[in-house]
Structure 1
Amino acid sequence: MNAKPTSSPNDSGQPSDDVRKPRSDGEQSRERLLHAATRLFGQQGFSKTSTREIAQAAGTNVAAISYYFGDKAGLYQACFSFMCAEPGAAIAAFDQPHFTLRESMQGYYRQMLAPLMEKPEEADVMLRLFYREMLEPTGLWAMEVENNIKPEHRALVALICRHLGVAEASDDIHRLAYSIPALCIQFLISKDVINAITPHLLSTPQAISAWSDQLVDFAEALVYAQKLKLQRKA
């Protein structure tokens, strides 16, 4: 359990202002710890990153980690919660019954690329943390798969089935549902290569938006190709 700042009631028996409104310096200290820890955990892994190192990078003391997060494991888990969307939030962005296929794909890639468009430095840090967790698993990546990625995959499969007019997902449709996010994941993990060869393709939010538009085109084409394949079989 993450430890949270608390304070006592005042003489009237009512909660003090510190309870109703978190102290701004406390919130800033907590966020500095989260940002510093996410960066260091992503660079070095959980086991090789010390609480003292995190506190020093955040400009605070080690006791603040215990105060806000309980221990290093609590801080590590909080880093994932801080970076990840709430379960279901991503699904709502693309799985709406009134959406056309294109509108669904626009919502899908928009939520995947939002961190890169809004806060590119934080997006890089988040990706490094995910990569590190996959290389040196602590169990949090398995939780992320179970709580977020698996439901998103199921929602995407159901959406594809709906647009293809089929009642049950075949292996081909599951493969298609894995390929659609893979287009974007490949883009994200290849950013260093893209920057080395064609840096202008990543230089502005408008450039990232152009990527998003083209990914939508690609995803639509994949779904229509699957539809044509089903028609030929029929």
Structure 2
Amino acid sequence: MDGDATKARILEGAGDLFARQGFAETTGKAIAEQAGVDLASINYHFGSRSGLYQAVLAEAHRRVVSLADLSLLAERDLAPSDRLLALLQGIVGSVTSAEGWHVRVLARELGSPSSHLQALFTDEIAPKLSHVLDIISAITGLPKEDPAVLRCLLRVGAPCLMLLIGSNLPGPLQIIAGMPQHALIRHLHAFAMAGLLDVAKQRTLPN
């Protein structure tokens, strides 16, 4: 139990520092001081500062959307459109939350990608995409393997990505991120549904 508590404390301390300073500017010594541990504890629990950063990125992404939540959503008796709405509610709620370091960490990494982004995609993002593609497939009526379904990720994911990055930057996107959640969710849902239904319609039109 003490080991789990120490690991969690390191993760939280590192997340806060990476969010404020970035990976390159955050030393192992600073993380150890923030977490109240020695450097050996960081290496013991995470292997290295790079290993710790990858763990922070993975935890940050889980706080935006977790595989467990997506699995539960897939089991709920909801219409495909309502599944998409529930997905967007979770993402927008997490991204626009004033609490935690997870959004700032992801915004930094996505705004200036490092070599660690591939590990984040492989370990966290890729397993979750299958659930999102299931929702898109159900809405459009197209097979999940259809290339058009993959392209439809742009309709669902791109606005969320812009919201995440923009929430960390001054300007219009930050203003949008500060708008009432219900208005943002309704807008993103309508935007995505219009595009997905248009794709479905185009596939049914004669050549």
> Shorter-chain-normalised TM-score: which range?
0.7 to 0.9
Are 1:185 and 2:161 matched, yes or no? yes
Q: Give the TM-score normalised by structure 1.
A: 0.68
* Aligned partner letter, 1:211: L
1:80 corresponds to = 57
Are 1:52 and 2:21 matched, yes or no? no
Q: Which moved more, 1:221-230 or 1:49-58?
A: 49-58
1:113 corresponds to = 92
CA contact (8 A) 1:34 1:79 kept: yes
Secondary structure of the equivalent of 2:26? coil
1:222 corresponds to = 195
Identify if the C-alpha distance between structure 1 residues 87 and 159 changes in structure 2 by more than 3 Å, giving closer, same or farther. Answer: same
1:136 maps to which of 114, 124, 128: 114
Q: Give the TM-score normalised by structure 2.
A: 0.76
Are 1:175 and 2:148 matched, yes or no? no
Whole-angstrom CA distance in 1 between matches of 2:74 and 2:26? 39
Whole-angstrom CA distance in 1 between matches of 2:61 and 2:144? 30
Identify if the C-alpha distance between structure 1 residues 188 and 84 changes in structure 2 by more than 3 Å, giving closer, same or farther. Answer: closer
Cα distance, 1:217 vs. partner? 1.3
Cα distance, 1:169 vs. partner? 4.0
Q: Which of structures 1 and 2 has the bigger CA Rg?
A: 1
* Aligned partner letter, 1:75: L
Cα distance, 1:185 vs. partner? 0.8
CA contact (8 A) 2:14 2:31 kept: yes
Q: Which moved more, 1:180-189 or 1:31-40?
A: 31-40
* Aligned partner letter, 1:160: I
* Aligned partner letter, 1:165: G
Secondary structure of the equivalent of 2:101? helix
Structure 2 gap segments, 5+ residues each: none
Whole-angstrom CA distance in 2 between matches of 1:110 and 1:74? 31
Whole-angstrom CA distance in 2 between matches of 1:191 and 1:149? 20
Cα distance, 1:201 vs. partner? 4.5
1:91 corresponds to = 70
Structure 1 gap segments, 5+ residues each: 1-21
Cα distance, 1:231 vs. partner? 2.4
* Aligned partner letter, 1:35: E
CA contact (8 A) 1:157 1:169 kept: no
1:104 corresponds to = 83
Secondary structure of the equivalent of 2:77? coil
* Aligned partner letter, 2:197: Y
Q: Which moved more, 1:209-218 or 1:36-45?
A: 36-45
Question: CA offsets, 1:3-26, max 9 Å, x none?
Answer: xxxxxxxxxxxxxxxxxxx349x8
Are 1:212 and 2:182 matched, yes or no? no
Matched residue count = 204
Whole-angstrom CA distance in 1 between matches of 2:27 and 2:133? 42
Whole-angstrom CA distance in 1 between matches of 2:118 and 2:174? 34
RMSD: 3.3
